[in-house]
Amino acid sequence: MIETPASQPAVADPVDEALREVDGLIRQRLASRVALIDQISAYIVNAGGKRIRPRLVLLFAEAFGFRGHERLELAAIVEFIHTATLLHDDVVDESDLRRGRATANAAFGNAASVLVGDFLYSRAFQMMVSVDRMRVLEVLADATNVIAEGEVLQLMNMHDPDLTVEDYLRVIRFKTAKLFEASARLGAVLGEADTATEESCADYGRCLGTSFQLVDDLLDYEGETAALGKNVGDDLREGKPTLPLLLAMERSTPVERAMIRRAIEQGEQQRLPDILAVVRRTGALESTRSAAKEEAEKAHARALVLPPSRARDALIDLCVRSVHRSS
């Protein structure tokens, strides 16, 4: 079911026009009386990004026939929250490349990055209040809290070669899948879906988000810096035990295992070529992609609760593309 090559044309997107409106709204809502905030937020937003989370809000709203302005506001809100987490994450990870350009922390410094992240995050909450729906506030307050927990859990797991696959999956459900889940759920909330349908939409988001992060972790080993717009090998440099490394350790010789353990404990990026060879030989990359495919297939199954429509087709198409993406 998830076999369509990524090179096939995307399903005609029923929310392209709405996404353009969201981009306009994002620019409008970024406005601040403080020049440095305008400068840094424009810098990061103008660098693009795939806008996958706003797309989820819009596609789910569309699938339920909801076309009110609130969908645009919520789409912009989830992109602001996402961008705030990227600004904070790049400081935590000391990353210097994102969306094909210097990260905000590399260009403007850590303090400015964290503080502009705070601005975007709190602006998102001002916009939520303007939507004036307690349920929306509840979904996003819960989601942002879980994302922060995920990031702290990940911090605690750094340099731990004994991390279990289960603990790794917990982190990615919290730090990444939760915002996908909230985005999908918000579309269903706007569309006044019944509780069971809303839960299926949320499940779709959680599974797609899990698949998305698995591929993200895979691309950190097999991707191309130019296509990704960020450096490959960063996870190893930070000593982050992700699924490709955990599986490679399980399947390698004692000598290779000791090398990977040391790299996780000490964050040894200079061993990347040797470790990549083990990761490749043990089939850890294929297995990570299979895990991503399984999650995407679960998402696909959840999308089938929606009535047939172009929005549903586009949501199914996203499941295929998330597994085969290269950026």
Phi-psi region of 48 (alpha: psi -120 to 50; beta: other; left: phi over 0): left
Nearer to ligand GRG, 100 or 267 (CB): 100
Site string for ligand GRG, 30-59 (x = CB under 6 A): -------------------xx-x-------
d(CA 200, CA 304): 9
Query: Binding to ligand GRG by residue 148, rule CB under 6 A?
Result: yes
- Segment contacting ligand GRG (CB under 6 A): 85-93, 189-197, 199-207, 286-294? 85-93
d(CA 147, CA 8): 33
Q: Pick from 176, 183, 211, 282: which binds ligand GRG (CB under 6 A)?
A: 176
Query: Nearest-CA neighbor of 43 among 87, 89, 104?
Result: 104
Smallest separation, CB 48 to ligand GRG (Å) = 7
Q: Pick from 11, 58, 84, 140: which binds ligand GRG (CB under 6 A)?
A: 84
Site string for ligand GRG, 112-131 (x = CB under 6 A): ---------x----------
Query: Binding to ligand GRG by residue 144, rule CB under 6 A?
Result: yes
d(CA 76, CA 74): 5
- Segment contacting ligand GRG (CB under 6 A): 7-15, 28-36, 141-149, 162-170? 141-149
Smallest separation, CB 64 to ligand GRG (Å) = 24
Smallest separation, CB 292 to ligand GRG (Å) = 12
Helical packing angle, 254-266 and 243-251, nearest 10°: 150
d(CA 189, CA 280): 43
Question: What residues have CB less than 8 Å from 128, skipping those under 6 apart?
Answer: 77, 136, 137, 140
Beta bridge partners of 102: 97
Helical packing angle, 284-303 and 243-251, nearest 10°: 130
Question: What residues have CB less than 8 Å from 156, skipping those under 6 apart?
Answer: none
Nearer to ligand GRG, 253 or 326 (CB): 326
Nearer to ligand GRG, 140 or 278 (CB): 140
Q: Pick from 29, 55, 71, 88: which binds ligand GRG (CB under 6 A)?
A: 88
Please give the residue whose beta carbon sits closest to ligand GRG in the complex. Answer: 49
Nearer to ligand GRG, 64 or 180 (CB): 180
- Give phi and psi for 79, each to the nearest 5: -70, -35
Smallest separation, CB 13 to ligand GRG (Å) = 16
d(CA 125, CA 65): 26
Q: CA 113: distance to chain centroid?
A: 19
Query: Binding to ligand GRG by residue 95, rule CB under 6 A?
Result: no
Query: Nearest-CA neighbor of 207 among 235, 176, 228, 243?
Result: 176
Looking at residues 244 to 283 of the shown chain, list those that interact with ligand GRG (rule: CB under 6 A). none
Footprint on this chain of ligand GRG (rule: CB under 6 A): 49-50, 52, 84-86, 88-89, 92, 99, 121, 144, 147-148, 151, 175-176, 213, 216
